[in-house]
Amino acid sequence: MNKVGFFRSIQIKFIIIYILLLLIAIQVIGSFFTTELENQLVKTYKDSINDRVNLISHNLEQALNRVPSGAEDEVTPEEEVRGIISEVASEDNIKLQVITNQSRIMATNDYQSQSDVGKKISNELVQSVLTQGGTTEIKEMQDRETKDQLYVIVKPLYKEGEENVTVGWLYVVANIQRVYDQLDNINDIFLKGSLLAIAVSAFIGILVARTITKPIKEMRRQAQLMARGDFTQKVNVYGRDEIGHLADTFNDLNSRLKHSYATIEEERRKLSSVLSNMSDGVIATDNAGAVTLMNEAAGRLIGHDPDDIIGELLIDVLQLEDKIVDITELQESGSMIIDFSSEEEEFLVKANFSTVADDEEEITGFITVISDVTEQEKVEQERRDFVSNVSHELRTPLTTMRSYLEALTDGAWKDKEIAPKFLDVAQNETDRMIRMVNDLLQLSKMDAKEYPLQKERTEFVSYFHHIIDRFEMNTPEHITLHRDLPRGKYLVWLDKDKMTQVLDNIISNAIKYSPEGGTIQLKVENNRHHILVSIQDQGMGIAYDKLEKIFERFYRADKARTRKLGGTGLGLAIAKELVEVHHGKIWAKSVEGKGTTIFFTLPLMNKKWRGER
């Protein structure tokens, strides 16, 4: 397994997140702190300047409004104004100018500008204020030369007792740059403190992240070992927190997986042993039909090494190209005989197909069981030939015999005590033989594919009700027919006459073999793509080893009783052929002494069946 990238490591992510959270917190606190500090310092400085300006302007107004007495040593208002202005040292970063209404500088505390006293002021801001009239102008601007921030005030000086009449103007320039420099120093200190805090936090974050990621890394290493099948190691538990509980759970998972892995391995060995020792061949495929498993028996039957067949398509392996197009058709075919014969030797293989489905009944694969049925097919073919020959040879004489026996029954035979009984038995046997011959002819035609079906769209439940109604009219009183049929509509594609023959054979057998007071259960179930029909009696039942043979021709589970009841041994064989030609399956379940149940399926109509119509 590839190592985790540096920036994808959970430890690095923890540290980055920790630092980012700290940075956000510092940024928010710092931004709020510096903004509030700046506002407070600037406000305090401006308030201080405004207070001094108000005091100075008050003193200047008193000086300018004083009326001279005329004494020789008396100080003139201009001299008094200069004295007040000179008391404010320019080193305080405050420059003052007193301006007359004629825009001339009366006094200034800036020693470098003493030569401007008596001259007209050239400052555009002051000239603009003088032009507008008696309003105080306060503005913050930047010095063009030094780029320092300046706090500028132009305040009118009013005549005593007349607030709208100015006697002069006070022009104040205060350098506020030192406040901003102080803020810059504070920001530098805050930045250095933040960097130190980040460094300390990163170190602490590494320690904290290691305590979290160390057990996770151990669990990752253990998961890699488990993926390779090693369940011997355990994860260390460092505490009782969530990660400690996760480690406990991981160790418990390890133990359970170890047990499950051992169980699966044991089952795999058992399955491998069973497959290896089976006489029948087994082929497993995925849902696309590609071979995933084949045992040795299957390899011997098809003549290929199982290892060489893995990945090949089942259709190609079993040479089914001419019989099916898509692998999903195997679900409907159920089983088929595949001819692997060569010019020198006849070789027939029977393949039984079944599906593998998941919990949602979606097909995930197919299982094919193949077996050599060459000899069985030869015997079956000989039996079929025999049935065909015998039926054709015996039908005419048996019909003639019946005609003579009917004539004798009408009175030709003179013995009135023995003749009727004899003739009655002969007539019954003749009828039975004729039925047998007819059954044999029917089977022969079906084997030769000369028995066409007249299929039509049929609602099976109502059709089945009709069949049962007909039987109930002639059923002995000691037999009860119990229906368990759904109310829904189940459409099937079938030949009604042939399916009636199937149901007649099965229900007739159930009635024949049911004891007095017996109940025959007739049931229909929806089995996804098929309907499942079952007919259960409470008769004597059939032995388990004979159950599969009841669908063979001429086979009778109880030969004496079958002859007594008039059976030919061909009814279920015909039923089997007719069900299979309808793309269905038929089978039986039985318990001796408790009765027998005959099951058969019919496919529900879908697009394919509609197309056949």
pLDDT digits (tens, 9 = 90+) for 115-170: 778 888 877 777 777 777 666 777 888 777 778 888 888 888 888 777 677 788 88
User: How would DSSP label each residue in 317-364?
Assistant: HTT-TTT-SSGGGHHHH-EEEEE---SS---EEEEEEEEEE-TT--EE
Mean pLDDT for the stretch of residues 602-610: 69
Q: Specify if 543 maps to a domain.
A: yes
Least confident of 30-39, 87-96, 182-191, 203-212: 87-96
199 within some domain: no
* Tokens encoding 232: 């011997």
Final residue of a structural domain among 325, 346, 372: 372
Show the domain range for 443: 378-447
The CATH number given to whatever domain includes residue 523 is 3.30.565.10
Report pLDDT digits (tens) over 279-328: 788 888 888 888 888 888 888 888 888 888 888 888 888 888 777 777 77
CATH code of the domain covering residue 435: 1.10.287.130
Q: How far apart are CA 346 and CA 453, in angstroms?
A: 31
Same domain, 267 and 304: no
- Encode pLDDT of 441-462 as tens digits: 777 777 667 667 888 999 999 9
- Are residue 541 and residue 567 in the same domain, yes or no? yes
Which segment of 202-206, 428-432, 502-506 scores lowest on mean pLDDT? 428-432
Residue 591 placed within a domain? yes
Residues 481 and 429 in one domain: no
In this structure, the answer to whether residues 149 and 23 fall within a common structural domain is yes
As a whole number, mean pLDDT of residues 221-240 equals 77
CB atoms within 10 A of CB 466: 11
Specify the pLDDT at position 416.
65
Task: Write the CA distances from 326 to 133, 322, 361, integer angstroms.
Answer: 103, 11, 19
1 domain residue, yes or no: no
Is the domain of 51 the same as that of 109? yes
- Across residues 465-473, what is the average pLDDT? 89
Report CA Rg, the chain. 57
Q: Of residues 177 and 418, which shows the higher confidence score?
A: 177
Beta-strand pair 586-591/491-494? unpaired
At residue 563, the pLDDT reads 45
Of all residues in the chain, the percent with pLDDT exceeding 90 is 9
| CATH code at position 333 | 3.30.450.20
Per-residue pLDDT tens for 390-409?
665 566 556 656 665 676 66
Model confidence pLDDT, tens digit, residues 234-254 = 877 777 777 777 778 878 888
pLDDT value for 536: 93
- Structure confidence at residue 29 as a pLDDT band (50, 70, 90): confident
Final residue before a domain boundary, out of 347, 372, 397: 372
| pLDDT tens-digit series, residues 519-542 | 999 999 998 889 999 999 988 888
Other CB atoms within 10 A of residue 483 CB? 15
Assign 10 a pLDDT band (cuts: 50, 70, 90): low
Q: For the residues 181-208, what does the mean pLDDT come to?
A: 81
Q: Is there a single domain that holds both residue 467 and residue 604?
A: yes
Task: Evaluate whether residue 5 is within a structural domain.
Answer: no
Last residue of a domain, one of 340, 372, 404: 372
Number of structural domains the chain divides into: 5
Alpha-carbon separation of residue 463 from 472, 490, 492, 519, 532 (angstroms):
15, 10, 10, 21, 15
Q: Looking at the structure, tell me whether residues 361 and 394 fall in a common domain.
A: no
The secondary structure element, H or E, covering residue 168 is: strand 162-175
CA dist., res. 514 & res. 525, Å (int): 23
413 lies in a domain? yes
90 and 170 share one domain:
yes
Is 50 exceeded by the pLDDT of residue 606?
A: yes
Q: Are residues 473 and 495 in the same domain?
A: yes
Is 499 in the same domain as 584? yes
Q: Are residues 271 and 382 in the same domain?
A: no
- How confident is the model at residue 1, as a pLDDT? 42
Mean pLDDT of 577-596: 90
Residue 611: pLDDT over 50: no
The verdict on residue 338 lying in a domain is yes
Question: Quick one: 359 and 490 in the same domain?
Answer: no
In a domain, 4, yes or no: no
Query: What pLDDT band is residue 182 in, cutting at 50, 70 and 90?
Result: confident
